[in-house]
């Protein structure tokens, strides 16, 4: 093997890789935020007294969780225009990733809500709070603190999933890496640097989230 | 508190029936409390004491009878011969007329002691924040925990948590306080601090309905002791009468088996 490593082409376009990384992080952040809202609504729907709501939430979770995310990305980006819904690639990807995150978070939140001690709801009722206020001020804040580790894992995995946006030419890290690779033929260097960037970003995010978990955790 | 006695009872329970499926746990209970009264429910496990207490603020639904608090029917009303459950908003308002302290404290774990007390004041009473904080601090001081106001429940002992829970309930200025075995989950050395808070409130004229296994305490604070057995009131009277001259053999048997 006499392959000579040469990172010059990668360094030359390093700022585009960083821009791609930034976009990936932004996409993951927006999607987890929307996913949290969807997840919460669907978790409440799953625990609802109304059968129709429970069925709706179950169908959503089952369909999304059993579809490969790449298929979802392609379905939403390429199939929706045939139905007259034309979306730009970034909004289309955000919708897909949010729906995907929402389905997983529905299960996380549902389990979290089921684990809230019944006594907390009763204490809320006893001071005159209604059901929605109990959810807003007691159940959801306590549940979110309890599921923070699961939420962190979901965020990291969602961030890694942003690499799939390259499939519809969203200019994130993998997209630029592929471009540099094709233009420079420096395969090993390009993908080594890209891998290092993903690992470093995920590691930093994990550290930050662990710090947040410790800050926000319920003190026992 | 310290309001004059009126002829109309503050709390009036008539013919209360409650069942879980086929299991009847309250079989027609009648009980009334005048303002300023301290009434203690005693009886063995499963006699219906806690269920009765929980029916008063509708943490338990009841299927028959009527509960009236300050002249208002709690939970249900009659409409053209049909029993109709009150709308949730009215039920929440009625619940806020009573305060409740639970066996397991049930403090909100993500909120500090102070925030536990202010939550109801801000969100139910719609009090301005500075007013709510001042009132909460007054009650935390009253239960001896002002310096712990910024502690989370997990950083407090069981006795301290229960005192915060009592402050949370009392700060809402309820007409009636319900205490459900508030010392049962405490280590023996922490029971005294909670009982002395309740005793202080009783001396100030707070109307209370208690369930407790602390018989000496019940003897000291209660205007009336109610002995329940199998979903019915078996005997009631002054603490002296009930503890020293029990009429029913079941009460005599119950008293024989408990420690004072």
Q: Residue B40: give its domain's CATH number.
A: 3.40.50.300
Q: How many domains does chain B have?
A: 1
Are the beta carbons of A158 and A105 closer than 8 angstroms? no
| Domain contains B3 | no
Closest-CA distance of chain A to residue B208, Å: 15
For residues B202 and B214, the answer to whether their CB atoms sit within 8 Å is no
CATH number for the domain that contains residue A178: 1.10.3720.10
- Tell me which H or E stretch contains B25: strand B23-33
Residue A122 touches chain B, beta carbons under 8 Å: yes
Residues of chain B with pLDDT under 50: 1
Q: Is residue A189 part of a domain?
A: yes
| pLDDT number for residue A9 | 85
**Alpha-carbon separation of residue B120 from A125, A141, B59, B171 (angstroms):** 10, 16, 17, 9
Domain span including residue A183? 7-216
pLDDT at A19: 95
Q: Would A78 be classed as within a structural domain?
A: yes
Q: How far apart are the first and last CA of chain A?
A: 58
Give CA separation, B147 vs B114, B133, B139, B150, in Å: 10, 14, 12, 8
- The per-residue pLDDT for B77 is 87
On whether residue B45 sits in a domain, the answer given is yes
In a domain, B5, yes or no: no
Pairing mode, strands B38-42 and B208-211: parallel
Q: What angle do CA B134, B140, B143 make, to 5 degrees?
A: 145
State the pLDDT at residue B259: 64
Cross-chain Cβ contact B107/A137 below 8 Å: no
Predicted confidence at residue B80, as pLDDT, reads: 83
What is the rounded distance in angstroms from the CA atom of residue A1 to the CA atom of residue A33? 48
| Residue where the block lists tokens 């001081």 | B141
Chain B: closest CA distance from residue A48 (Å): 17
Going by C-beta distance under 8 Å and a sequence separation of 6 or more, which residues neighbour residue B200?
A: B142
Query: Which two tokens mark A2?
Result: 């006499």
Number of domains present in the structure of chain A? 1
Identify all chain B residues contacting A218, using CB atoms and an 8 Å cutoff. Answer: 109-110, 152, 154
pLDDT score at B245 = 92
Q: Can you give the residue range of the structural domain that contains B168? A: 11-257
Residues lower than pLDDT 50 in chain A: none
- A115 CB-near residues (< 8 Å, 6+ apart): A143, A146
In a domain, A2, yes or no: no
Contact at CB, B95 and A218, closer than 8 angstroms: no
Q: Is residue A1 part of a domain?
A: no
* Residue B123 domain-assigned (yes or no): yes
Q: Is residue A139 part of a domain?
A: yes
DSSP symbol at A81: G
**Shortest distance, CA B165 to any CA of chain A (angstroms):** 9
Complex prediction ipTM:
0.92
């Amino acid at each position: 093997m006499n392959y000579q490593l040469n990172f010059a082409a990668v360094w030359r376009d390093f700022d585009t890789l960083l821009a791609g990384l930034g976009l990936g992080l932004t996409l993951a952040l927006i999607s987890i935020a929307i996913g949290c809202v969807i997840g919460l609504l669907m978790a409440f729907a799953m625990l609802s007294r109304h059968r129709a709501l429970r069925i709706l939430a179950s169908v959503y979770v089952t369909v999304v969780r059993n579809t490969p995310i790449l298929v979802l990305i392609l379905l939403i980006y390429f199939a929706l225009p045939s139905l007259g819904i034309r979306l730009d690639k970034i909004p289309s990807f955000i919708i897909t990733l949010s729906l995907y995150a929402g389905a997983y978070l529905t299960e996380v939140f549902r389990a979290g809500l089921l684990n809230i001690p019944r006594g907390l709801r009763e204490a809320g009722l006893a001071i005159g709070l209604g059901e929605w206020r109990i959810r807003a001020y007691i159940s959801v804040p306590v549940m979110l603190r309890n599921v923070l580790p699961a939420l962190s894992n979901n965020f990291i995995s969602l961030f890694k999933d942003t690499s799939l946006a390259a499939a519809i030419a969203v200019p994130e890290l993998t997209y630029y890496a592929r471009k540099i690779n094709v233009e420079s033929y420096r395969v090993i260097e390009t993908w080594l640097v890209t891998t290092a960037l993903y690992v470093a970003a995920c590691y930093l995010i994990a550290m930050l989230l662990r710090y947040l978990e410790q800050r926000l955790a319920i003190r026992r | 508190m310290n309001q004059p006695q009126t002829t109309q009872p503050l709390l009036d329970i008539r013919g209360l029936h409650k069942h879980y499926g086929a299991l009847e746990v309250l079989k027609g209970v009648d009980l009334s409390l005048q303002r300023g009264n301290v009434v203690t429910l005693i009886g063995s496990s499963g006699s219906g004491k806690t269920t009765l207490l929980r029916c008063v603020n509708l943490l338990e639904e009841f299927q028959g009878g009527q509960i009236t608090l300050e002249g208002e029917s709690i939970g249900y009303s009659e409409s053209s011969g049909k029993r109709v459950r009150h709308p949730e908003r009215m039920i929440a308002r009625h619940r806020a007329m009573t305060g409740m302290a639970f066996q397991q404290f049930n403090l909100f774990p993500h909120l500090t002691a102070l925030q536990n007390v202010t939550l109801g004041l801000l969100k139910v009473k719609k009090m301005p924040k500075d007013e709510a904080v001042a009132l909460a601090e007054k009650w935390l001081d009253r239960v001896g925990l002002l310096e712990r106001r910024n502690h989370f429940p997990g950083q407090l002992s069981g006795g301290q948590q229960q005192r915060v829970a009592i402050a949370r309930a009392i700060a809402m200025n309820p007409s009636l306080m319900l205490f459900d075995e508030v010392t049962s989950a405490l280590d023996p050395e922490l029971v005294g601090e909670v009982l002395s808070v309740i005793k202080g409130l009783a001396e100030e004229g707070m109307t209370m309905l208690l369930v407790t296994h602390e018989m000496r305490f019940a003897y000291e604070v209660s205007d009336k002791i109610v002995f329940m057995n199998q979903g019915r009131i078996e005997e009631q009277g002054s603490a002296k009468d009930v503890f020293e001259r029990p009429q029913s053999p079941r009460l005599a048997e119950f008293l024989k088996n408990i420690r004072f």
